[in-house]
A and B are shown apart, each in its own frame.
Chain A
Amino acid sequence: MTLLTLKNLSISHHNTPLLASVSLAIEHGDKIGLIGASGAGKSVLSLAMMGLLPPNFQISGTMQINGEAVDLTDDAIMRYRRGTDLAIIFQDPRLALNPIKPVAAQIAEAAELALGVSRVVANDMALDSLARVGLDHGIIAPDSLPDMLSGGQCQRVMIAMAIIGKPKLLIADEPTTSLDTVTQAEILALLKQLADEDHMALLMISHDLAILAQTVDQMHVLDQGKLVDHAASPPFAKTLTHRQSQQLIEASRLDIAPPPVASDPNHRADQDIILAADHISVTYASGFNVFGIADSNKPILRDISLTLRRGECLGLVGTSGAGKSTLMRVLLGLERPQQGKVRLAGDVVDPKRMTSAMQRRISAVFQDPNSAFNPRHSVRRIIAEPLGLLNNNMPQNMTDQAITEKVAQALESVGLTADMMHRYIHAFSGGQRQRIAIARALITNPEVILFDEATASLDTLIRKQILALISDLVAANNLSAVFISHDLAVIRAICHRVMVLEDGQCVESGETEHIFHNPQHAATRRLLHAIPTSMT
């Protein structure tokens, strides 16, 4: 019997339609992928199936579990279904776990609620479940708090919690978006293995076709609330023919080439170096005594050296916690290393002695487009902020009109329109925000731009657009760039050279293509292996 059928499920919120007659049938043990760009209605669908939508959403249509109709709006009924029939894991496991409760106790609570077993039995089941997701005693203590675990371990805890009631269907809503690629590959393999072992159906939701392609057997494409395409078996790239599917397939191929380096034979090699870091070491205080003075230190970066030539894109790649972001702050002069020096065009970068002439030459685009802007400032004020650096070097300050012109120019260069400058940041989507961040970084005509995971929070369609934009701008403005990412595929699309970081050390560096074809270090091979490849 069919495990779950959705018939003509339509959902709207304040008369805005979010889902339009979605029909879906899931058999026992199916592994189904649901793909769509952001805003397509993927999360609304998964929340609706769990009966978790707030009451002010209008729901019509029916859902049947094992041939039995369930009322999606009746929380009392849905409660009995959750955990035993249906379970869900969310995007950000850190937000989904209670920060002050030991992880084993959280899993045991799920068992008590789903199966009605006693506390003692539930505790035993929790330990078994933790072992199944690869977190037995040797790896973490069962009474660890979520804070003490890595992002990947937290997601494993969420999975342990979801499978403890032996659900027939596990919905995974972008389960790896907040994780680095190596951890992502591990989590995907784990989900697949658990689904096979328990004959559990899996509904994987993602914006990335490459991630789904290596996990699922069937694929549905969701576009603006409608299921527009379906492929019953791999290879998906050939079966999916709808325009939206083609776009998504196209976007998951990062076939952008790094910008060409202008080669000028008259230049001497040492003149070419714009940014150089020389034996950088950084340690963070990890404990304080009663007077607030550090009494123990944790090394973050160990003896890192790098050089960036003019017109070059350098990739810094590594898993979470490898020290990438710290290195970026050091390069930007936001933080002083305990040892070593950073030179920008020959001048020493020091947080206390940065002149505006030096600061003008370097700028940055940060990872999270949600916290990168002051929500109380207009886009014009946000983009114009670094112009103060130019003012100091000018005979007179810029007039209001000159600022407006410059901001308009910057907005247009990143593919936005000048009239957007008077809006506030919350009126923009993630991709637009990232464009605004790039516009701000470009406004002082810098020579070096540092990109910190600039595409990590974007969906695949937008990611490709932004990467292409960055590649064009770097070539057009003769910029040098440092591109930080955990995803080697992104690095390959845009960087000439790459440096692999692990535990604060540089383990390998060289030409991107060379590293791709001939990786030497185990960490590099792990990163390469984690790139979702099989499109066919």
Chain B
Amino acid sequence: MRVWRISPFLIASAGRRNLISGGVILGIISLAGLISFFWTPADPTIMNISNRMQPPSMAAWLGTDHFGRDILSQIMAATPVTLSVALVGVMIGMIGGIPLGLMAALIHKPFFDHVLTRGGDVLFAFPAIIMAMLLTAGFGAGISIAMLAIGLFNIPVFLRITRAAAMQQRHMTYIHSARLAGKSMPRIACEHILPNIAPVIILQASIQFSLAILAEAGLSYLGLGAQPPTPSWGRMLADSQTMIGLAPHMAIIPGLTIMLTVIGVNLIGEGLRQRLDPYRSRQANYVEMDIS
């Protein structure tokens, strides 16, 4: 095996480029969300029926919806709702799924492993929508129920990916060495296994974050998420669907916002993954090429 020097600048900057562009996109969206707490161009809940379904103009920059509400104001006011549902949903999944996945992989008991993974499969069998319906039946609809439903759905996702990645690491010789050095399994999991499987988890987290935004949209569409008049990107999309021929901007604008956010999150996830790759960062920018 030989190590070739391959234009270090390109590799280093590819990760940084992704981080910067993802950061800029998400930064603008979060800033808009922050500003909405103090100021929006118009009140997002005030209806003005005579001005309904106006295309974008100087008066209403992104147009108005079928009740004559200002779409830009609604998008801004909905940002904190949508982002927090997605963030909390992914966090619940990670906090629940990663330790369980590590336990399934590292506690070397087939029975325990089966109980955890099959349990995860059972949870997996209920999509977030069904989960939200179940929870709504018990606790009523609302944002926190949407968060919980998305989070519960994410637990088996992270359990599986963590377990699979940790299983690969478990047989690496350096795990044996760490055990010989007297380290306990939980400590090995934190010091050796987690950092080495972090890229996979981060990538999955960015994918799940994108999916959570779409799931929130889906839940709001069914009336299981944010309740009117609290605006949400998903419900804006849902409301506009019957009027897509009359006023396409009503669907296009929230759709574009969701798409931009998802792109931003994925760029950050990809940038972080490249950052964490030990072969690509640190003092030496080598790419190992195996030609032996």
Query: Which residue of the partner chain A has the closest CB to B291?
Result: A43
Given contacts A292-B110, A424-B282, A426-B288, contact A356 B182 (CB under 8 A): yes
Query: Which residues of chain B are near A43, meaning CB under 8 Å?
Result: 291-292
Contact A386 B196 (CB under 8 A): no
Name the segment of A22-30, A238-246, A310-318, A366-374 touching the other chain. Answer: A366-374
Given contacts A43-B291, A334-B180, contact A292 B278 (CB under 8 A): no
A363 within 8 A of B: yes
Contacting residues of chain B (197-213) with chain A, CB-CB under 8 angstroms: none
Contact B180 A14 (CB under 8 A): no
Query: Which residue of the partner chain B has the closest CB to A292?
Result: B110
Contact A367 B4 (CB under 8 A): no
Q: Mark A351-390, 1 if CB is under 8 A from B, else 0.
A: 0001010010011101110011111100000100110110
Query: Which residues of chain B are near A364, meaning CB under 8 Å?
Result: 176-177, 180
- Among B174, B179, B278, the most chain A Cβ lie within 10 Å of the Cβ of B174
Expressed in whole angstroms, the minimum distance between the Cβ of A482 and any Cβ of chain B is: 14
A440 to B5, CA, bound (A): 29
- Among A292, A356, A373, the most chain B Cβ lie within 10 Å of the Cβ of A292
Query: Which residues of chain B are near A426, meaning CB under 8 Å?
Result: 3, 278-279, 284, 286, 288
Given contacts A388-B183, A389-B181, contact A371 B172 (CB under 8 A): yes
The 8 Å CB contact of B284, one of A91, A368, A386, A427, is A427
Expressed in whole angstroms, the minimum distance between the Cβ of B168 and any Cβ of chain A is: 10
B135 within 8 A of A: no
Query: Which residues of chain A are near B2, meaning CB under 8 Å?
Result: 39
The 8 Å CB contact of A291, one of B6, B111, B279, is B111
A44 within 8 A of B: yes
* Interface SS majority for chain B: mixed
Query: Which residues of chain A are near B27, meaning CB under 8 Å?
Result: none
Q: Mark B152-180, 1 if CB is under 8 A from A, else 0.
A: 00000000000000000000111011111
A81 to B183, CA, bound (A): 55
Query: Which residues of chain B are near A354, meaning CB under 8 Å?
Result: 182
Contact B182 A293 (CB under 8 A): no
Query: Which residues of chain A are near B173, meaning CB under 8 Å?
Result: 366-368, 371-372
A388 to B182, CA, bound (A): 7
A376 to B282, CA, bound (A): 10
A47 within 8 A of B: yes
B273 within 8 A of A: no
Expressed in whole angstroms, the minimum distance between the Cβ of B87 and any Cβ of chain A is: 27
Q: Mark B1-29, 1 if CB is under 8 A from A, else 0.
A: 11111110000000000000000000000
Q: Mark A43-86, 1 if CB is under 8 A from B, else 0.
A: 11001000000000000000000000000000000000000000
Contact A386 B181 (CB under 8 A): yes
A427 to B281, CA, bound (A): 12
A288 within 8 A of B: yes
Given contacts A366-B173, A367-B173, A426-B288, contact A359 B180 (CB under 8 A): yes
Query: Which residues of chain A are near B183, meaning CB under 8 Å?
Result: 385, 388
A286 within 8 A of B: no
10 contacts between A and B (CB under 8 A): A13-B4, A174-B292, A354-B182, A364-B180, A373-B177, A376-B195, A376-B196, A424-B278, A424-B282, A440-B177
Apart from A14-B6, A423-B283, what are 14 other A-B pairs with CB-CB below 8 Å?
A14-B5, A43-B292, A91-B292, A334-B180, A359-B180, A368-B173, A373-B174, A374-B174, A375-B196, A386-B180, A386-B181, A389-B181, A389-B182, A426-B286
Residues of A participating in the B interface, judged by any CB pair closer than 8 Å:
13-14, 16, 38-39, 43-44, 47, 91, 174, 288, 291-294, 329, 332, 334, 354, 356, 359, 362-364, 366-368, 371-376, 382, 385-386, 388-389, 392, 423-424, 426-427, 430, 440
